[in-house]
Structure 1
């Protein structure tokens, strides 16, 4: 059971355990645990074994126990509550893209999940999303999770590419002993959401203690929840044009804002230009079909402006098609073993198989405006009232809008299987030199099934129904009839029959495969030679890595014949050869105000088969003034190589929600007026709704370069002797990413086409296609390029205080972040053109978590509250252009409190009961908690859970 490096491993675990014991139930700082000066252990952020647990970079440590002992579905749902992590891909919001339902990805500083490197025991892990390097936290074995360590800032020099904003390292327990069982079940108070978890683990020594073998199994799942299942989220709200708004141009043509909100948020409101029953516009009036197929004027209640919004009317309620939580389940099987081959060499191996299934039920197929359904006058299902209306207006056909609830909601089911195997050896080459060598192989497979995918041609044939010579209702097209076409009515709710639904709906099957192979070998020496201030530490190594990804779409859907986006085949691969080294040099010691001064440096050279050579490096300085106060600083240059999707992704069909800058209502500058005219747009070009969904093409770019980041941190650690049990850390951090890989947004393409003072910018205008007759937008093309930049800076702080009181032991911890700035630049060559996200939804200026844990004999009690500062819903840049866009301008400050009570029996049984969101805090405003910006808010409500564990 790992003798040679088992000492290192056990010391490593003892440090984490000590830190956890000092600061449970939530967040602790690893470097604060005192250790004997002769002990050398490995810490995250360095490959050199070091005395104590002194990390050269700011590291936040969360105990595995605290991640497991919650009511959350998985560890990703707990980690997203950390102030340093954004809720970009959580269970609640991951389903907003095709193929991502069920994913739980980590995104440090909100700068992109692809820029956060996720490791398991310091080793790379196979990705979970095709074409990317992003790792799904559902694939991590929580039964053996010892701790999670989070490093801020670039760490590519130590761990390789992708560690641009930082590293999240999942550390697993080493020698597993005995049997552990954990069962938990929870349910929400006011909705059908519930979840369950079961963890089993068994480990034992063999060969007279020279080896250890362990297995573990995990089973978990949750029931989905729709927006209509909760009181707060079931009401449909719509931001509508404010009738009181008087914005307009003055006599000089200058646009004037009157300070009155352009839009107001109205309850029981929505779109009236589509309906589940079917509707259409004729002679300026909207008509809707009754249940029996007859037609009447649609009840529009109160309407707002030129956009088809109404309240207290017959509107399309989209809330019924919005899931707040997906259905999800997971099975995780793990095995690991290690064996002391000699007193100085330990062999180790591990393997796992994870299967997760996430479902996302979305909107049904719909048809409106340009895609509205054409109904002929001789349609067999046409009601007399509809026929009379068409005759009175001399119409031989009419186009109806329809949101096809009766065709079935489109339903996506993603099944991911992840297998990973690690084998290697570690130990001592001599008294001073240690080594580690390992290989890993990982594979993720995604099976994506899309139900109720409408076949456009079959649907058109089915709704074009006529009466044949025998008086039967049939499909007009004879070939379609011969192939089994079933006719159907579209007039009224639930008009579509089962036979027709089976004719025009299909199930589409797509699959993806991701493979990763890694071979790594390194040596380390914590006492390479001695300087007056101490021993020089050294490590060096080499690594080979190969990444492959293939996505095979449904062949029929790829032709564009179905309602599902037309996705294309993608395959790509790359390999990289790397060499790295690191040194730790003591400069001064045992001087007044300098107990220790240590300089750290690391460099990594890489050769990619795709982008060629790349180098990253890092330096750091650690200054201990005395046993109480320590100052630390780091500076690094990191890189992120373009991933497979960015390099090899085909041009796929997508849809952009954009506002046409050439609509008369959007020409708010003379520059736009002139440039729109120059590209052939009529001066009176007017749209009922300037905002529209437009078809687009997006794809990869084989000429991409690596992203580069410069980051630095500076901070201090304070542990005063006169306040025993108190610790304080404060670190300022700054990250700048250049040559950032990004698609130019469709809106940016449109705006930059017509916003140049020198005339239309054809670089962007050539990416836009318009209908030559109507001049409406038809197609926008966007591919990824190294054009963008991002910056972020702020302060992380942690305060811990552990003390005895009330006959027991209190452990308290406050962890927080002040976000100074987070800017995004669509074009890095225009440094004055940026969006400041700090203080905007998803990027609160202040976030903090406070935890208090109390133990009295066998009783434990825990309290945790999470704070999110008030946020604006609009950036300062957008408000500079329009200072009065809405009546809801911000979300207020947000507190959520969780509690837990437990009892530990002498027999090894532990029982616990907990309540998450104790005060049933509602979502802010009219949010649903299903976007990247609102995913950090609780959309489940008050949640009760209980857990049972047994260990022997």
Structure 2
């Protein structure tokens, strides 16, 4: 009989141990070696003969991390490229990404192999889960925050593509979440943790109950998680937009409480770039046209910029409540019925600095704010003339006015997401001839419904009225003071122009599938296995922005309603043929293959194939190789997403093209092109803000992305007796993935370069400039234009020592070497290749370290156990800045006590993540908080205590 420690070693991954090795027994097989369905194949097989490269995480391994978020646990795997998590604080204040999926505020996703969460398929018990919803678009990825963590028995991560088995999206791999099926009595846990600064308090509670009587088994679970915020201003790395500085530089905002006024002198006509000397709380600032800096104004400089950073979250708050009910009923000895129901509620928040109110032709909003004129009769207008944006009010005589609306308080976004999931499965077995065949029929209905409340937005129509002729500001209208300093905007002004923005989105999944598997006939080397099946899937999604925003009257990110759907019919077949068995150099040699045909209502049909060779040389050595095709159908947001805006940090080649403001003069060719495109020849145009408006949108003509992948590997598990080891496993896998027709837009930087360097007519047609030369917007649609080629090596070592007086020790080392990651993208001339390995991409944040590793040393003796985890990330270089993000080694410790006096049914655990308080490396090109949240921990030590019990 196996010892408890030996069994644990075979079933767990020791807190992010990537076992996946042949011989590692899944939790479902602890009591039996009957053939089961394992992630990556539909043909049943012995769990001891698992031939796919799979990482397994059971509930005990997940608990060892001290994390309350499933996505963040998976993101610690060396094969993970990151994804959305609680360290992202973006609800649209930087705009909506170009994929039509929205910003995903409050969501959590998993990305394998750096290929993006859209290319990682998430299953629950081998079946699909509805895509996420966060009230800002229609995502093509699964939000793992919609799956209660307490319902998870284990997670299997397939480290290779599997489109012929599972269909679309399984390009980089598959995450299969296996839920609890059986339990006797009650079990529960309570955990509380916080950072060493006393913030970011996280509470996690789980209570489950199960019972089995006759042929009926019931499991129920209730999970509650509450995570509090960490403010950016409370960590040194994120106190200013540029890491390491102690005062504002050009990265700070020109939207300040004292205002920035780029206007023409009403007497001389000369351009002026002014701000207030001091706050003018009431009345009208004084302005002398003959000496503009003699009164209330002075010239605007970098020192006058506004530090928006302290208002942001470095860890966003979130609250989740999840319920789970599952009943399995034996109808006959050969037929079972399983009903599963899940409800999950997520409430989360994001926050940004008070809205920067930008008006004027160069504001770049793309809506009414760009067309506002400020009438001379406005009681706060100090210039004595109407500031015209052009049109009916005469030629434009001002370009830009920026005023940080600090009186309205921070922009605050609150999301509420409700997820419902119901599935029914009828499964059984039957004899066909002398062979036993297994079948199952599954029906799923799942829905996400999200709402977002945004406070701090301005109604542009009302603002235009409040800044216009005072005679037209009647009724509830109050003239607006955009020229005074902080505190000059009164509560009646605030009440008139502000509105609470209400956005919503939802997605729906209806899925029916049928699977049949069994042995066709016997060959000398074993049985020929076959699996066939059919699936019908219907997906629908929609996004509804607030009516004011949809009308183009909001002062934040513009958006229009989006709605779409598709359905797909799919059929697959999988065949496994053993060729040689029990030979001197081939304990087993088998080949297998799969094919899947998919017929989509949106683009037509797609057929994918895969093949595999498994060669068990001896009992100790397994060699394997696989080839597979993959595809990803364009998502609803990518197909039907309506135009929105993304504020991208770009440098306009035409800005300061003569070098009059201290910059480097542009080449003669660029100057000529810029002048031809409407930029003033005198070099007066200087880009006002680092962010330029990029208009993005979906494309109904998109076709699927396609891929081809190869995986070669082997497992060595010596079976001879070793005094220093009860078990030793080595596993190595080499992967190579080529992705074609990647769905992405032509980069705005490419469009700019092609236009101003090469005078490319198509690119120039995508750029709109104002009379002053400023870029108003750059437009583009999603297209099938990109390619990605990546390859690397995964190497794992697992060791368990013998039991001794000192206890039992276990060690695992899970490593990923990224050998190559190359993107092929449109360039100024043709295409260019970007080598990402060893680099930090910057906003959108993503590091591509050449080496990542997780090492765990685990110890157990009597009532006590402890673990020491080290997570290593190799250094990367920024591509958008001259900066190196140095190596990071994070150390986590955990200590547990399960006293024998309570029959080990009550336990206490203490742990600290990031024991040595390692800050993330500073990143100059990353997003809000100056570090890459996809790769590095939030700054600070995180300690936690947990109590568990069973009854």
Q: Give the TM bin, normalised by the shorter chain.
A: 0.7 to 0.9
Q: For residues 563 and 617 of structure 1, do their structure 2 counterparts lie closer, same or farther at Cα, with a shift above 3 Å needed?
A: same
Aligned to 1:216: 221
Aligned to 2:796: 798
Decide which of 490, 504, 509 is 1:511's aligned counterpart: 504
- Tell me how far 1:822 sits from its aligned partner: 1.2
Partner Cα distance (1:456, 1:315) in 2: 24
Aligned to 1:259: none
Partner Cα distance (2:632, 2:373) in 1: 50
Equivalent residues of 2:16, 2:854 under 8 A apart? no
Moved more, 270-279 or 404-413: 270-279
- TM-score normalised according to structure 1 size: 0.85
Q: For residues 463 and 494 of structure 1, do their structure 2 counterparts lie closer, same or farther at Cα, with a shift above 3 Å needed?
A: farther
Partner Cα distance (2:279, 2:676) in 1: 50
Aligned to 2:276: 288
Equivalent residues of 2:281, 2:487 under 8 A apart? no
Aligned to 1:401, the other structure's residue is in SS state: strand
Q: For residues 29 and 585 of structure 1, do their structure 2 counterparts lie closer, same or farther at Cα, with a shift above 3 Å needed?
A: same
Query: For 1:307-345, what per-residue CA distance to the aligned partner results, in whole angstroms no more than 9, with x for missing partners?
Result: 9874xx444112123211111100101100101101111
- Tell me how far 1:16 sits from its aligned partner: 9.4
- Tell me how far 1:483 sits from its aligned partner: 3.2
Aligned to 1:341, the other structure's residue is in SS state: strand
Aligned to 2:90, the other structure's residue is in SS state: helix
- Tell me how far 1:898 sits from its aligned partner: 0.9
Partner Cα distance (2:829, 2:329) in 1: 58
Superposition pairs of residues 232-271 of structure 1, within 5 angstroms: 232-235=237-240, 237=242, 269-270=249-250, 271=252
- Tell me how far 1:806 sits from its aligned partner: 5.0
Partner Cα distance (2:827, 2:607) in 1: 22
| Structure 2 residue 126 is the aligned partner of structure 1 residue 125 | no
Query: For 1:234-268, what per-residue CA distance to the aligned partner results, in whole angstroms no more than 9, with x for missing partners?
Result: 255379xxxxxxxxxxxxxxxxxxxxxxxxx7755
Q: For residues 171 and 563 of structure 1, do their structure 2 counterparts lie closer, same or farther at Cα, with a shift above 3 Å needed?
A: same
Aligned to 2:172: 165
Query: For 1:826-867, what per-residue CA distance to the aligned partner results, in whole angstroms no more than 9, with x for missing partners?
Result: 249999611111101211111111111111111111111111
Aligned to 1:575: 567
Equivalent residues of 2:820, 2:836 under 8 A apart? yes
Matched pairs, number:
869
Aligned to 1:557: 549
Aligned to 1:422: 423
Partner Cα distance (1:397, 1:738) in 2: 47
Partner Cα distance (1:378, 1:828) in 2: 50
Decide which of 318, 327, 333 is 2:308's aligned counterpart: 318
Aligned to 1:481, the other structure's residue is in SS state: coil
Aligned to 1:591: 583
Aligned to 1:703, the other structure's residue is in SS state: coil
Query: For 1:32-91, what per-residue CA distance to the aligned partner results, in whole angstroms no more than 9, with x for missing partners?
Result: 236999742221100111133333321111222222343323111111111111222111
- Tell me how far 1:362 sits from its aligned partner: 1.3
- Tell me how far 1:528 sits from its aligned partner: 1.9
- Tell me how far 1:20 sits from its aligned partner: 2.9
Superposition pairs of residues 176-195 of structure 1, within 5 angstroms: 176-195=183-202
- Tell me how far 1:951 sits from its aligned partner: 0.7
Decide which of 870, 875, 882 is 1:870's aligned counterpart: 875
Equivalent residues of 1:345, 1:428 under 8 A apart? yes
Q: For residues 656 and 146 of structure 1, do their structure 2 counterparts lie closer, same or farther at Cα, with a shift above 3 Å needed?
A: same
Partner Cα distance (1:667, 1:428) in 2: 77
Query: For 1:527-562, what per-residue CA distance to the aligned partner results, in whole angstroms no more than 9, with x for missing partners?
Result: 321112211111101110000111111111111111
Decide which of 129, 134, 139 is 2:141's aligned counterpart: 134
Aligned to 1:427, the other structure's residue is in SS state: strand
Partner Cα distance (1:678, 1:366) in 2: 32
Equivalent residues of 2:451, 2:502 under 8 A apart? yes
Decide which of 320, 341, 355 is 2:345's aligned counterpart: 355
Superposition pairs of residues 539-550 of structure 1, within 5 angstroms: 539-550=531-542
Q: For residues 669 and 477 of structure 1, do their structure 2 counterparts lie closer, same or farther at Cα, with a shift above 3 Å needed?
A: closer
Partner Cα distance (1:690, 1:744) in 2: 24
Q: For residues 770 and 379 of structure 1, do their structure 2 counterparts lie closer, same or farther at Cα, with a shift above 3 Å needed?
A: closer
Partner Cα distance (2:490, 2:166) in 1: 58
| Structure 2 residue 230 is the aligned partner of structure 1 residue 225 | yes
Aligned to 1:31: 22
Equivalent residues of 2:875, 2:884 under 8 A apart? yes
Aligned to 1:741, the other structure's residue is in SS state: strand
Equivalent residues of 1:789, 1:827 under 8 A apart? no
Partner Cα distance (2:535, 2:599) in 1: 11
Decide which of 106, 118, 121 is 1:102's aligned counterpart: 106
Aligned to 1:893: 887
Partner Cα distance (2:459, 2:507) in 1: 30
Aligned to 1:473: none
Aligned to 2:22, the other structure's residue is in SS state: helix
Structure 2: tracts of 5 or more residues without a match: 93-101, 266-270, 288-298, 364-369, 388-395, 841-846
Aligned to 1:444: 448
Aligned to 1:237, the other structure's residue is in SS state: coil
Partner Cα distance (2:794, 2:736) in 1: 11
Equivalent residues of 1:202, 1:215 under 8 A apart? yes
Equivalent residues of 1:37, 1:52 under 8 A apart? no
Decide which of 595, 614, 624 is 1:622's aligned counterpart: 614
Aligned to 1:715, the other structure's residue is in SS state: strand
Decide which of 694, 697, 700 is 1:696's aligned counterpart: 694
Aligned to 1:344: 334
Task: Provide the aligned C-alpha RMSD in A.
Answer: 3.2
Decide which of 227, 237, 258 is 1:277's aligned counterpart: 258
Equivalent residues of 1:768, 1:781 under 8 A apart? yes
Aligned to 2:785: 787
| Structure 2 residue 10 is the aligned partner of structure 1 residue 19 | yes
- Tell me how far 1:438 sits from its aligned partner: 0.8
| Structure 2 residue 849 is the aligned partner of structure 1 residue 844 | yes
Equivalent residues of 2:381, 2:483 under 8 A apart? no
Structure 1: tracts of 5 or more residues without a match: 1-12, 240-264, 298-306, 465-475, 876-884
Aligned to 1:520, the other structure's residue is in SS state: strand
Moved more, 116-125 or 681-690: 681-690
Aligned to 1:500, the other structure's residue is in SS state: helix
Equivalent residues of 2:445, 2:509 under 8 A apart? yes
- Tell me how far 1:192 sits from its aligned partner: 2.0
- TM-score normalised according to structure 2 size: 0.85
- Tell me how far 1:376 sits from its aligned partner: 6.5
Aligned to 1:333: 323
Aligned to 2:635: 643
Partner Cα distance (1:596, 1:429) in 2: 28
- Tell me how far 1:353 sits from its aligned partner: 0.6
Aligned to 1:768: 767
Q: For residues 655 and 610 of structure 1, do their structure 2 counterparts lie closer, same or farther at Cα, with a shift above 3 Å needed?
A: same
Q: For residues 153 and 672 of structure 1, do their structure 2 counterparts lie closer, same or farther at Cα, with a shift above 3 Å needed?
A: farther
- Tell me how far 1:502 sits from its aligned partner: 1.4
Q: For residues 670 and 851 of structure 1, do their structure 2 counterparts lie closer, same or farther at Cα, with a shift above 3 Å needed?
A: farther
Partner Cα distance (1:869, 1:377) in 2: 60
- Tell me how far 1:400 sits from its aligned partner: 4.8
Partner Cα distance (2:205, 2:545) in 1: 35
Partner Cα distance (1:376, 1:829) in 2: 44
- Tell me how far 1:478 sits from its aligned partner: 3.9
Q: For residues 199 and 767 of structure 1, do their structure 2 counterparts lie closer, same or farther at Cα, with a shift above 3 Å needed?
A: same
Superposition pairs of residues 297-316 of structure 1, within 5 angstroms: 310=302, 313-316=303-306
Decide which of 729, 735, 738 is 2:737's aligned counterpart: 735
